[in-house]
Amino acid sequence: MSQKLIVLILALLLGLQPVTTDLYLPALPAITQGFGAGMGQAQLTLTALLLAFGLSQLVWGPLSDRFGRRPILLWGMGAYTLASVACAFAPDMAWLIAGRTVQGIAMGAGVMAARAVVRDLFQPAQGATVMSQGLTGLGIIACACAPLGGMLTDWLGWRIALLMLAVFGAATLALLYWRFEETLAQPDAHALRAKPLIRANLDILRNPVFLTWCALSAASYLGLFTFLASSSFVFVTFMGYSKTAYGFLMLSMSLSYIVGTFWCRWMLRRTSVHRTVGIAAVLTITAGVSMAALAYAGQGQDWYGAWAVMGPMYIFMLGHGVHQPCGQSGAVAPFPHRAGTASALNGFLMMLGAFFMGGWLGAHMDRPVFALAHGILLWACIITIVAWTAVQRHGRPEPVAAQPA
């Protein structure tokens, strides 16, 4: 496979996350109103998805180390497509939550395998660059998702918006079936045996390089998740924006993320990974402090509006465009022969955090602006601490030769 094809496949697989959340979020208030559901149930459609997404990777990872990436991807994308159809025709909120749970399980196969494929084919330093290219594609997909979700919900209803997830899944499945070649040179015959699997997981969890990069990528993702889970209530419910206008706000956020991924590659050509991450953290902490300060200063003031939320978020997303590719590729770098398992643990810990963060947001959504501001400030502080301490100490993994492709 050519590197361009690999980047395209990475973009589609990693893009499952924004497709499944960003296209869905503009429809969430309409879904909640249509089913007569409460805020807690609405948040559960996100938290159930993410918990299933995280837990499933613990299974998909060892399975892909044993049987290869290709069969896991084909089964996963097939299940994702069917679950998306079920969500679009859900008769009630319970059915929708069940469908979103299956979506999360299936999505875990695609995203986990994407990170493992990068480790299969590339050494750690080059892997960060390739991952950044794939995440640029994710950003482009995210740009289209939120406006499309808003317009489809406004014009045709939320069921049509959700049906687009099935279209995306089917298209990705077709490309994988016809063009994707196996990247795992030598499957691990012992990958599913209990004792070696437990030992491998413990070894990964004790590795300071893994813990450092996993903490960075998880905290950065949780900052984004905080925004995704609360933004529709901030802009549509609290500020009164239309779903279409909200979609375009999300598009602008995705554009800032794309700029961040380009900046990441520009920096990596000029300095080391750990220095790039440390510089990006300056933007991250600036975003967290400014969003919280504006929220408190603007309480009850006429001047407070979307700019006071989106301005800091643009800055946060520039840093996110650095922290995600470096964090995700760095977490699997020390484990060329257990890339699937390492990727699964990284994904699980990220989604476990999102599950608890979603529950906290659901309990504080009576004041959505402050829930968002407090969450972004929290994760910005954690990102900065990790980037300026642990990454500088442990974030310099020795190059390890990749398996032959």
Question: 90 pLDDT exceeds 80?
Answer: yes
> How confident is the model over 124-165, as pLDDT tens digits?
667 778 888 888 888 888 888 878 888 888 888 888 988 999
Residues 8, 395: Cα–Cα separation, whole Å: 28
Token look-up 């196996």 returns 182
- Kindly state the average pLDDT of the residues 340-359: 83
**Third-level CATH fold of 3-177+195-394:** Growth Hormone; Chain: A; (1.20.1250)
Average pLDDT value for residue range 346-353: 85
pTM of the full structure: 0.78
In one letter, which amino acid is 55?
L
Burial 91-100 (b: 16+ CB within 10 A, else e): eebeebbbbb
Residue 168 pLDDT grade (very low, low, confident, very high; cuts 50, 70, 90): very high
pLDDT at 405 over 60: no
pLDDT, mean of residues 382-389:
96
Q: Is the pLDDT of residue 404 over 60?
A: no
Angle at 45 between CA 39 and CA 49, to 5 degrees: 145
Instruction: Please report the pLDDT score of residue 124 as a whole number.
Output: 66
Domain spans of the chain, in order of start = 3-177+195-394
Check whether 358 has a pLDDT greater than 70. yes
Mean pLDDT of the region 273-279: 92
For residues 266-303, one letter each, b for 16 or more C-beta atoms within 10 angstroms of the residue's C-beta and e for the rest, the string is ebbeeeebbebbbebbebbbbbbbbbbebbeeeeeeee
Of 199-203, 267-271, 320-324, 363-367, the range with the lowest mean pLDDT is 363-367
User: Model confidence over 304-347: pLDDT tens digits?
Assistant: 888 999 999 999 999 999 999 899 888 888 887 777 788 888 88
- What's the residue count for the chain? 405
Report the distance separating Cα 36 and Cα 209, nearest Å. 47
pLDDT band at 105 (very low <50, low <70, confident <90, very high): very high
- The confidence score (pLDDT) of residue 125 equals 67
40 contacts: CB under 8 Å, gap ≥ 6: 362
Q: What tens digit of pLDDT does each residue of 33-85 get?
A: 778 776 677 778 887 888 898 889 888 988 988 888 999 999 999 999 999 99
Cβ atoms of 111 and 11 within 8 Å: the answer is no
User: Could you tell me the pLDDT band of residue 402, with boundaries at 50, 70 and 90?
Assistant: very low
Output the pLDDT for position 143.
82
One-character DSSP codes across 156-182:
H-HHHHHHHHHHHHHHHHHHHHHH---
User: Are 235 and 249 a contacting pair, CB within 8 Å?
Assistant: yes
Is 220 a residue whose pLDDT tops 90? yes
- The Cα-based distances of 64 to 50, 103, 160, 341, 401 in angstroms read 20, 19, 33, 8, 20
% of residues, the chain, pLDDT over 90: 39
CA distance 318 to 276: 12
Q: Residue range 78-96: average pLDDT?
A: 92
Candidate from 211-215, 241-245, 288-292, 374-378 with smallest mean pLDDT: 241-245
**What average pLDDT is seen over the chain?**
87
